[in-house]
Every structure is written in structure tokens, then in C-alpha cells.
Amino acid sequence: MTPPLAANTHSTVPRPPAIAFEGPAPNLEPAPRRVLVKEVNWLGDLVMSLPALRSIRKAWPQAHLAVLVKKELAGFFAGCDWLNEVIPYSIRKGWRGFGDQRQLVAELKKREFDLSICFPNSFRSALWPAWAGVPKRAGFARDWRGPLLTHRVRPHKDILECHQVHYYQYMLRKSVGVNGAPEDCALTAHEPLRAKMKLWLQERRERPEGKLIALAVAAAYGPAKEWPPARYAALIDLLAEKYDAECVLVGAPSERIKCEQVAAESKVGAMLAAGETQVGEAIAMLSLCDAFAGNDSGSMHVAGALGIPTVGIFGSTRADRTGPLGPKTRILYKKLECSPCLERTCRFGHYDCLKQIEPSHVLAALNELGVFA
């Protein structure tokens, strides 16, 4: 029998509701014909902005809808056939970056967008469409960029206490009058990439009849978000022992070493996908898995949005603000006096908020989600 969750290990975290959208919404007339959305710069944030992006599509179904996104993240939209265009970009550092920006702005100008919407808060995400001459430009008036926006919104203090998915929805409502459903976060993998990842798995699986569990054992933010490698190794062995399940370790190329460490520490080992897949391929890989467990990371958000059973392990960050979206999610965290601290490293050096979560707790959460029913 799988042990129950510890009394102070929570599988659900109440999320504060979004604040009311007070006042009348702007009416953008005439409806835009060509809309550019500057997307955010992290994989997890892309997932949390997805409901807002889909609400733009629904508001103006006849418009040409394009997203501007970092080149390395462009594959995120491979399965979004409701978009008309994905514009990838890459800006080098130093003086060469100025030339890259000029070239990007020239490309945007040629496309003749009549509305741009900036999801990030950065100055240059508002500068580029202004420089390109886009006549209507919406976004939060932050980072000294208010004068660059024609439809600017100042974030209500309470919106910073809501789940981040509401942040983008609030801006859309208050700037251009677009309403959306925060729960509309479904992500679809690209079928050709799913076929490619099926073949990848077939060539590597040792127990193809068992369940396939994806694990994200690293996180870009720092060790205060990372469950100890030894716990992941123990979880891999526990899954194999009890359910003959097999694990695949997912993540960015920079996380490969940590994945290798976990696989080597476990008795049964695991497949290593970290560093071998682009973003679109990683999404396809996750869509083929029976479940996911891992740190608060981009992979966690993707898994939840794909609708597979997802267990997120939280340490220093706020699960009520950045917990996974989707219909089959659970959250594990320890509510200590010092948590959530939002720090990259534990100021006390003990990382107890993570260490007190046991592999059996993760297994119990997966069972709650019906993975092994």
C-alpha cells in the first residue's frame, strides 16, 4: 500500500482568485487586421500566457495573428495551428545586438501590423513595435516604457498576488477589452514530432509494457527549487519496484549533468532526454508519457497543460502563483515558517522545505491522480 501524504505535505494549494475587472472595458474599433504578440521569454511563462494568447485569437478570429518569440522557444508553438505566424528572433550581446534589433524591426515594419500586444514587462519588447511604427501598442506600463505604449495599463497591486495566468488576462481586458478564460491552457503537441519521439523511445525503452514517467530533476532558478538528486534516484527505483514503471529525464542541455547524476545514482537507471530535444520535441515527448513529476520548471508547466497527470514539487517558490495549470495536477510543498522565501538558495543552508518531501509522497500523489489505477 502506498503511504498517504504526510500531514504537512500539501497536494493542493488554494490559489487566490483574480481581482475584479473594475470599470468598462475599452472597445478597440475598428477590429485589428494584423496582430503581433510579443511573447514571454521562459518556457513556463509561455504556458501561463497561453490562455491570454488564445483569448486574442477568439476575440479577432479573422485577424492575422503572429507571435514574436526567442528562437530557442519557437518550437513551443509547433502544435498551435490556430496561429498564422511564428516570428523567431535572436539578439546577440554587445554592439552586434544593435544590428540584430534593427534588422528585426525592419522585418516587423514590412509586415504592417496594426496592433501589438506585449506580454513581457521589458523595455525593448515595447520599443521594437514602436520603432516599427505599429500604430496601436498595448501592455503594462512598467520598466519606464509607458510612453512607448498607446494602450497602457498599470498593474493593480492585487494582480501580483494572483496566479500569474491572471496577470496577462488583466492586461488584455484593461488595455484592449479582450476577455478570456484562465483555465483555457490546453497545449497540443505537433504530430510529426510525436512520431519522431515515439521512435526515440522505442529505441531506448527497456520495459515498454510499463508506465512511462517523465521527471524534471533540475530547475533554472537555482537549488532552492530543486528536490535533492538522491530523492529522484530513490523515486526511480520505487516506481520500477512497485509498478515496473520506466522514467525519462527531461530538461535543458544545461541540466544534462544533473540528469546523468540522478540516473547513475538509481539502481535501475533512466533514459536521458535532457539536451537531446528541442522545445517542440520535448513537448511531444511529454505528451507520450503517462505522468510527470518534477521541480517547479518549464517542463512541469508543459506537462500540466498537455493534460497528463502532473505532480509539481515546490520549495522556495509560491505554488499559488506559479503552480501548474491543467485538469490533472497536484502540488507537493512543505509549509515551513521560512517558506516560501522566493530565494535561489536557502539562507539557512538546510533546504528542509524540499528534503522533508519523500519519494513515497510523490508516489502517493501520482496514485491520487490515477496513474497506476
pLDDT of residue 368: 96
Q: What percent of the chain has pLDDT over 90?
A: 77
Answer for the pair 166, 159: CB distance below 8 angstroms, yes or no: yes
pLDDT of residue 14: 58
Confidence of residue 2 (pLDDT cuts 50, 70, 90): very low
Residue 206 predicted with pLDDT over 70: yes
Confidence of residue 336 (pLDDT cuts 50, 70, 90): confident
Q: Same domain for 199 and 237?
A: yes
First to last CA, the chain: 13
User: 25 lies in a domain?
Assistant: no
Cβ partners under 8 Å of residue 6, min gap 6: 356, 358, 361
Residue 347 predicted with pLDDT over 60: yes
Sign of the CA dihedral running 355, 8, 43, 250: positive
Confidence of residue 223 (pLDDT cuts 50, 70, 90): confident
User: What distance in Å separates the CA atoms of residue 313 and residue 114, rounded to the nearest whole number?
Assistant: 42
pLDDT in tens, 254-272: 999 999 999 999 999 999 9
Confidence of residue 326 (pLDDT cuts 50, 70, 90): very high
Residue 221 predicted with pLDDT over 90: no
User: 221 lies in a domain?
Assistant: yes
Q: Same domain for 170 and 206?
A: no
User: 18 lies in a domain?
Assistant: no
pLDDT of residue 280: 98
pLDDT of residue 226: 87
Residue 13 predicted with pLDDT over 70: no
Cβ partners under 8 Å of residue 7, min gap 6: none
Q: Which of 8-17, 47-56, 334-343 has the lowest mean pLDDT?
A: 8-17
- Of 152, 176, 200, the position where a domain reaches its end is 176
User: 3 lies in a domain?
Assistant: no
Q: Same domain for 142 and 263?
A: no
Q: Same domain for 152 and 199?
A: no
Residue 3 predicted with pLDDT over 60: no
User: 273 lies in a domain?
Assistant: yes
Confidence of residue 340 (pLDDT cuts 50, 70, 90): confident
Q: Same domain for 289 and 343?
A: yes
Q: Same domain for 228 and 151?
A: no
pTM above 0.85, yes or no: yes
pLDDT of residue 334: 87
Q: Where does residue 279 rank: exposed (0-12), middle (13-18), buried (19+ CB within 10 A)?
A: buried
What CATH number is given to the structural domain containing 358? Answer: 3.40.50.2000
pLDDT of residue 348: 83
Give 161 or 299, the one with higher predicted confidence. 299
- Of 120, 151, 176, the position where a domain reaches its end is 176
User: 258 lies in a domain?
Assistant: yes
Residue 130 predicted with pLDDT over 90: yes
pLDDT in tens, 155-170: 888 888 889 999 999 9
Residue 135 predicted with pLDDT over 80: yes
- Total tally of structural domains belonging to the chain: 2
- Of 176, 209, 243, the position where a domain reaches its end is 176
Give me the chain's average pLDDT, please. 92
User: 220 lies in a domain?
Assistant: yes
Residue 346 predicted with pLDDT over 80: yes
DSSP labels, 211-268:
-EEEEE---TT-GGG---HHHHHHHHHHHHHHH--EEEE---GGGHHHHHHHHHHSSS
pLDDT of residue 17: 65
Q: Same domain for 271 and 356?
A: yes
Mean pLDDT of 285-294: 98
Element (H, E) at 89: strand 85-89
Q: Same domain for 144 and 216?
A: no
Q: Same domain for 123 and 203?
A: no
Confidence of residue 117 (pLDDT cuts 50, 70, 90): very high
Q: Same domain for 168 and 43?
A: yes
pLDDT of residue 253: 93
Q: Which three cell numbers stand for residue 27?
A: 472597445
pLDDT of residue 19: 64
Q: Same domain for 227 and 346?
A: yes
Residue 352 predicted with pLDDT over 90: no
pLDDT of residue 329: 96
Q: Same domain for 78 and 167?
A: yes
Confidence of residue 12 (pLDDT cuts 50, 70, 90): low
Mean pLDDT of 292-316: 96
Residue 6 predicted with pLDDT over 50: no
Confidence of residue 310 (pLDDT cuts 50, 70, 90): very high
User: Distance of CA 119 to CAs 34, 49, 159, 217, 360, Å?
Assistant: 17, 8, 15, 28, 39
Residue 231: name the closest of 210, 217, 243, 244 by CA: 217
User: 201 lies in a domain?
Assistant: yes
User: What distance in Å separates the CA atoms of residue 247 and residue 239, rounded to the nearest whole number?
Assistant: 8
Neighbours of 62 (CB within 10 A): 8
Residues spanned by the domain of 283: 9-13+188-368
